Amino acid sequence: MEQILVNGAILAANYALIALGITLIFSIMNVLNFAHGQMFMLGGLLVYWLVVQIGLPYAAALIGATIIVGVIGMAFEVFFFRQVMRNSTREENTMLLAVGTALLLENAALSLFGEKQRGVPPIVSGVYKLGDAFLPANRAFVFGVSVVLIVAVLLFVNYSRTGRAMRALAQDRTATLLMGVNTARVSTLGFGLGAALAAVAGGLLITVSGVNAGVGTAISTKAFIMIMIGGAGVVSGALLGAVALGFIEAFGYAYLPGSLTYLMIFVALIIFLLIRPQGIMGKPWG
Amino acid sequence: MATATDPAPTRGEKRVLGPFLLIFAPLAAVLFVAIPFVLADMPYWLNVVTNACLLSFASLGVWLTFSIGRVNIAQGAFCLIGGYTVGGLTTFGGLSFWLALPFGGAAAALVGYIIGYPLLRLRGIYFAMVTLSLTEAVRLAFLYFGTMVGVTSITSIPSPPGITSPMAFYLFAAALLILGYAGIWRLQSSRTGGVFRSMRQNEELAASIGIDVARYRVFAFTICCFMGGIAGGIFAALQQNVYPQSYTVADSINFMLYCFLGGLEFVLGPIVGTFALVVSFELLRAIQEYQALLYGILMIVVMLFLPNGLLSFFPALKRLSGGRK
């Protein structure tokens, strides 16, 4: 039982990074980032490449991968999303563009890194014992870094000037523009930050379970589940969704046969959305 | 947002029939004369266009859910249901393909009808995300219950009696596509099509003038699922097998992409989008290594310069050359 709770907490912390990133992008840009899982994957594979092939220390590789993916995210916003949002008559078009960028990233990763499952050796060795549960030191490290980053992002979004501008943008784009905020810059930063968060999550998880180039769609699906549980575009909802999914998954894998866990999660999700279509924290539409 | 190919439903049959024949006749000519003539001796390419026809048929259904303002990423699930129904009935039930096929469509339509009522209350990205989950849920359901029963995949499904050559199969698929196209065109130019468009623009407003919104949107979704089931059933017979992983989230996303790429304002959109993507994918096979990469770039470029689909090229051209939209 303790073991399940420990596993759930570690999963939840990592998922929270993913959910925060996709929520940030959704609330600021109103874009459902289909490429989020691919950004996660790219972050992981870049860390692998920097550590194993280039020989950088892990910390430098993690920071490097985060910056690279963050810049890719910003470039996507400037060169792709901004243009399409200006020209298209339907807002769903950004969804297609996001799928296009997902394909692009996935196939770029395939030709650059191959299709093999890649892993990085654990950063710290050793095992802690919490009650009856075993906690490998490496997972504790991943958990710690994730929590620190989540707190940092929350502080940034809530208290910094740019963070406030992002929240204002999420509430009302026109009003923010009228208040003299450089919305283009804030949008670009927000997209970059969201992408960077996905990359950090991937870079952390590659030390635990490894990452391959095809993992993107599954991660994106998980990200969607989390924001459906919590409510799209709400930061507290994203965290809640991540915690819920992390623990449900940990319990499911402990008590149910493999494919049944996610089947139950999907069925439960569909029933949940019938009762509360906007998620736990989301605002009802209309 | 009416365009030249999107006539108002109240203007009478003549206005509707004119543009319809203008597109229908060339489409039929391409499907039944040009393609069979050019590809007669190329069974591989014949198979590619057969696939494209069947995928277009399923995409037409997805287009219909777009016309009520829902982004549907569940078509793969219904193809899977249709595929398993037809595969099971023909392989284990001993039924003829032609008898089993309607059951495949009906099974998918029934599932769509039942879950459509609650699911279609969602909209926007919530509907997109929940239908994406549905694709994965149905795949896992077949995997899990299949493992329980001991039959996860159905192989050596008999091919349809009476269809012996790739050409015959192609002509069957093309006939189905042209039938589906005519049907969807008829639907979207009828009063029901007008109701669908009004729901896309503003569902509350549509409800306020007495339209039973819930019934109409389930109607559209059920037709979409039916078409998915039929396409899935034929695919099962064409490939002679069906696995839980025959249709994954990526396939459902592709159906949505085909519609987007062709243009959501046009009934022809899903057909143009499917053929463009399927054929370009095959052509890019020549440069093996970078095929998929170029495919992604191609899609982004189209989106950047023709954000409203390939077919919006013609109105754009008209605007550029000084004509009125």
**What residues of B are in contact with residue A101 (Cβ under 8 Å)?**
296, 300
Structural domain includes residue A201: yes
Residue B2: per-residue pLDDT: 41
Condensed to tens digits (0 to 9), the pLDDT of residues A89-126 reads: 776 778 888 888 998 898 889 888 888 888 888 888 88
- The sign of the dihedral angle between the CA atoms of B146, B151, B152, B157 is negative
Residue A186: per-residue pLDDT: 92
Instruction: Say whether B295 sits in a helix, a strand or coil.
Output: helix
Residue ranges for chain B with pLDDT beneath 50: 1-12, 324-325
Closest residue, chain B, to A224 (C-alpha): B129
- The sign of the dihedral angle between the CA atoms of B219, B220, B221, B227 is positive
Residue B325: per-residue pLDDT: 41
Question: Chain A interface, mutation test: which of B144, B213, B243, most A Cβ atoms within 10 Å?
Answer: B144
Q: Measured between CA atoms, how close is B97 to chain A, in angstroms?
A: 31
**Interface residue A104 vs chain B (CB under 8 A):** yes
Closest residue, chain B, to A260 (C-alpha): B144
Domain residues for A162? 2-214
**Interface residue A221 vs chain B (CB under 8 A):** yes
Residue A110: per-residue pLDDT: 87
Condensed to tens digits (0 to 9), the pLDDT of residues B174-188 reads: 999 999 999 999 898
- Flag if A227 and B129 touch (Cβ within 8 Å): yes
Residue A44: per-residue pLDDT: 94
- Smallest Cβ–Cβ distance between B300 and the set A32, A89, A101 belongs to A101
Closest residue, chain A, to B293 (C-alpha): A107
Q: How far apart are CA A18 and CA A197, in angstroms?
A: 6
Question: Chain B interface, mutation test: which of A77, A90, A227, most B Cβ atoms within 10 Å?
Answer: A90
Q: Measured between CA atoms, how close is B57 to chain A, in angstroms?
A: 20
**Interface residue A273 vs chain B (CB under 8 A):** yes
Condensed to tens digits (0 to 9), the pLDDT of residues A234-243 reads: 888 899 999 9
**pLDDT above 60 (res A284):** yes
Structural domain includes residue A84: yes
ipTM of the complex: 0.85
Condensed to tens digits (0 to 9), the pLDDT of residues A239-256 reads: 999 999 999 999 988 888
Structural domain includes residue A16: yes
Question: Chain B interface, mutation test: which of A80, A86, A92, A221, most B Cβ atoms within 10 Å?
Answer: A92
The b-or-e profile of B147-181 (16+ CB within 10 A means b, else e) is: eeeebeebeebeebeebeebbebbbbbbebbbebb
**Rounded mean pLDDT of chain A?**
89
Structural domain includes residue A276: no
Structural domain includes residue A235: no
Q: How far apart are CA B277 and CA B181, in angstroms?
A: 19
- Smallest Cβ–Cβ distance between B129 and the set A228, A262, A278 belongs to A228
User: Which are the contacts of B73, defined by CB distance < 8 A and separation ≥ 6?
Assistant: B128, B131, B132, B135, B249, B252, B253, B255, B256
Structural domain includes residue A121: yes
- Flag if A92 and B71 touch (Cβ within 8 Å): yes
Instruction: Say whether A170 sits in a helix, a strand or coil.
Output: helix
Structural domain includes residue A65: yes
Residue B39: per-residue pLDDT: 83
Structural domain includes residue A68: yes
The CA-based angle A134-A154-A232, given to 5 degrees, is 90
Q: How far apart are CA A46 and CA A54, in angstroms?
A: 10
Burial class, B183, CB count within 10 angstroms (exposed 0-12 / middle 13-18 / buried 19+): middle
Looking at the structure of chain A, the number of domains it has is 1
